[in-house]
A and B are shown apart, each in its own frame.
Chain A
């Protein structure tokens, strides 16, 4: 005799136990510390902070440990944590023009004030697995045979965009009249048409893989914009706050950010002189791929604003911005695992009914009355 299945709660509790085991792995292997992650998986931490929308390397490291390295899951943890935090204050806008630079490159000029500062980058490494990294526990002996002294972090350098702007070559990104508050996606729902601040916030939090693919598509003919890297800079900026009680600015400390200014195909008409147009990208930590992808997509999404024909998905704000959030996309894709047997039951019944009706017709029987209605 069939008995309705019970035991949902016991199943969940058991699955927690199994999950904890899976996360820990072989207990004979030492447990991963938060510091290990924060220090030696730094770029993972940077991504989780960026898409999690919280600058806190310790918390991001914790999220990565808890999610066993699944970064989308870690991002989810950080966002959920952030959602309930009280808002204490708003800082001043960061000034990337005053960044203390660890790395600064421009593809548009061979040399420029402040110089090309290569900094720490994988760009010019050969991607060969380094088996010396298999060894752990001891500091590797420093290779002093070819000693290259690392330069100290650079002094402040002027932005390439500002240099181009002296000649009026780049479009003006004027502050809107009245300097309105930027849109806050974490507080208000996104509506369309979305303004620039909403768009940039959406892209900053966007899943890196999705943004990368969208950016790539613009380079392959799905809306060409002939981009050039005006500048990428990575370093630290000062975070400042003007507390009400004090009335003057105090520094809260530094945060590390990566900024990309993409310069694109010039626009113009016979009445307006041509200018280069811009795309902007910003991410926490050292996240060049993300910042670059963001800047390409930012520019593509301005198609309508710049009077260009919209032909490709990367130019469609509703398409890009509605599908960019990994919490939304992962949640909805994976929700298909939830029971859907009631809906499926309805579909089953319909298919059976339709097949029966066709079988009757094939047999030359009286057509189903519903079909008869429009004979």
Chain B
């Protein structure tokens, strides 16, 4: 396992017009590590995620990713905003995943579950229908979707199922880094729990690195080894999840922690 970070973010700033919403965020992310970005709405956490995932250009700072070179997986850090759009799009299709809060944003709602899941494989050149279907079927099982629903369209799925489908669609190419924007919000509590368990298992099994944006501390506790707390665009506290949640130092973190109802 490489000792270099997978992702390096330095002094990242983002703005909408004159309004700055991300004010100088820095962190490293290591292979297989899950980082939670926690904050209330308006804290800038979603913008931060989009900037790191090359979906929203920052106004300052750098985002570097260790692009895969050769079969050993190790690579030098490369500035993603210095790449061509073609390189970024390739990265987004293969080595990265992006799980949207609203599953419909991350799926093709008008094609079958099987097509959704196998699209990335087809984009990479796989041309055997039977094998594509078998892999898709396999992944549907892994995310606990009944494989007989492989030909059904996502608009016939429940919210939880759509979310799991989205995850399968992203993970089938074994990406090394997955971005998740509020992956469980809007789902029933029991459905959330199941999904979180599944995500935890998958990230561990596949040694996925992930950045998970959430307002829910329980999600952070369950999924992430480290977390960053954001307020008004600033990172006010960061560290090991358990430490930050059990012994918050910053007043805002203390407020967040204290307002969480005990289970």
Chain A positions near chain B (C-beta within 8 angstroms):
269-271, 373-374
Q: Determine if B129 and A269 form an interchain contact, defined as CB atoms under 8 angstroms apart.
A: no
Contacts of A271 in B (CB 8 A): 17-18
Decide if B18 touches A270 in the complex (CB within 8 Å): yes
CB distance from B239 to the nearest CB of A (A): 37
Q: From residue B189, how far is it (CB to closest CB) to chain A in Å?
A: 33
Within 8 Å CB of A374, what residues of B? 129-130, 133
Instruction: Identify 8 new A-B residue pairs, CB closer than 8 A, beyond the known A269-B17, A373-B129.
Output: A269-B18, A270-B18, A271-B17, A271-B18, A373-B130, A374-B129, A374-B130, A374-B133
Chain A residue at minimum C-beta to C-beta distance from B134: A374
Q: In angstroms, how far is the closest chain B Cβ from the Cβ of A153?
A: 48
Q: How far is the CA of A223 from the CA of B18 in the complex (A)?
A: 25
Complex contacts, A270 vs chain B, CB 8 Å: 18
Q: What is the CB-to-nearest-CB distance from A88 to chain B, in angstroms, rounded to a whole number?
A: 44
Chain A residues in 8 Å Cβ range of B133: 374
Bound-state Cα–Cα, A270 to B18, Å: 9
Q: How many A-B residue pairs have CB under 8 A?
A: 10
Distance of A271 Cα from B19 Cα, bound (Å): 10
Minimal Cβ-Cβ distance residue in A for B137: A374
Q: Could you list 6 A-B pairs, sorted by A, with CB under 8 Å?
A: A269-B17, A269-B18, A270-B18, A271-B17, A271-B18, A373-B130
Neighbouring B residues of A373 by C-beta, 8 Å: 129-130
Closest chain-A Cβ to B81's Cβ sits at a distance in Å of 22
A269→B18 CA distance, assembly (Å): 9
Complex CA distance for A120 and B17, rounded to whole angstroms: 48
Complex Cα spacing A374 to B129, Å: 9
Given the complex of chains A and B, what is the CA–CA distance between A172 and B145 in angstroms? 57
Among A270, A271, A374, the most chain B Cβ lie within 10 Å of the Cβ of A374
Closest Cβ of chain B to A360, distance in Å, is 20
A270's nearest neighbour on chain B, judged by CB, is: B18
Residues of A within 8 A of B130 (CB): 373-374
| CB of A310, distance to nearest CB on chain B (Å) | 17
* B110-164 at interface with A (beta carbon < 8 Å): 129-130, 133
- 5 smallest A-B Cβ distances: which pairs? A271-B18, A374-B133, A373-B130, A269-B17, A374-B130
Q: How far is the CA of A271 from the CA of B17 in the complex (A)?
A: 9
How many angstroms from the CA of A374 to the CA of B131 in the assembled complex? 10
Alpha-carbon distance between A374 and B130 when the two chains are bound, in angstroms = 6
Q: How far apart are the CA atoms of A269 and B15 in the complex, in Å? A: 15
Q: How far in angstroms is the closest Cβ of chain B from A280?
A: 27
**Bound-state Cα–Cα, A373 to B18, Å:** 58
Min C-beta distance of A367 to chain B, whole Å:
15
Residue of B nearest to A307 (CB): B17
Instruction: Give Cα distance in the complex from A373 to B130, angstroms.
Output: 7
The CA-CA distance from A374 to B18 in the complex, in Å, is 56
Expressed in whole angstroms, the Cα–Cα distance for A374 and B133 within the complex equals 8
A277 to B129, CA, bound (A): 54
Q: CA separation between A373 and B129, bound complex, in Å?
A: 9
For B17, what are the chain A residues with a Cβ–Cβ distance below 8 Å? 269, 271
Residues of B within 8 A of A269 (CB): 17-18
B131 to chain A, nearest CB (A): 11
The digit string for B244-263, where 1 denotes a CB below 8 A from any CB of A, is 00000000000000000000
Chain A proximity of B115: nearest CB distance (Å): 13
Complex Cα–Cα for A374 and B17 (A)? 53
A361 to chain B, nearest CB (A): 16
Report Cα–Cα, A269/B19, bound state, in Å.
11
In the complex, A270→B17 CA distance in Å?
A: 10
B residues 1-33 touching A (CB-CB < 8 Å): 17-18
Once bound together, how far apart are the Cα atoms of A269 and B17, in whole Å?
9
A373 to B133, CA, bound (A): 11
Q: How far is the CB of B126 from chain A (nearest CB, A)?
A: 15
A16 to B126, CA, bound (A): 56
Closest to A374 in B: B133
Shortest CB distance A96–B (Å): 35
Q: Bound complex: CA of A219 vs CA of B18, how far in Å?
A: 31
Expressed in whole angstroms, the Cα–Cα distance for A374 and B132 within the complex equals 11
Cα distance A270–B19 in the bound complex, in angstroms: 10
* Docked complex Cα distance between A271 and B15 (Å): 14
With a cutoff of 8 Å between Cβ atoms, the chain A residues found around residue B129 in the complex are: 373-374
Q: How far is the CB of B253 from chain A (nearest CB, A)?
A: 31
Give min CB distance, B208 to chain A, whole Å.
30
- Minimum CB–CB distance for A287 against chain B, Å: 40
Q: Name the residue of chain A whose CB is nearest to the CB of B18.
A: A271
B171 smallest CB distance to A (angstroms): 22
Q: How far is the CA of A11 from the CA of B240 in the complex (A)?
A: 85
Q: How far is the CB of B21 from chain A (nearest CB, A)?
A: 15
CA–CA, A270 to B133, complex, Å? 54
Cα separation A270 to B129 with both chains bound (whole Å) = 56
Closest Cβ of chain B: how far from A318's Cβ, in Å?
20
Q: Nearest chain-B residue to A271 (Cβ)?
A: B18
Q: How far is the CA of A155 from the CA of B17 in the complex (A)?
A: 46
CB closest residue in chain A, given B133: A374
Residue of A nearest to B114 (CB): A374
Cα separation A224 to B160 with both chains bound (whole Å): 37
Contact partners of B18 in chain A: CB under 8 A = 269-271
A241 CA to B13 CA in the complex, in Å? Answer: 54
Within the complex, what minimum Cβ distance (angstroms) separates A66 from chain B?
A: 47
Closest to B150 in A: A374
Residues facing A in B192-208 (CB within 8 A) are none
Complex CA gap A269/B130 in Å reads: 56
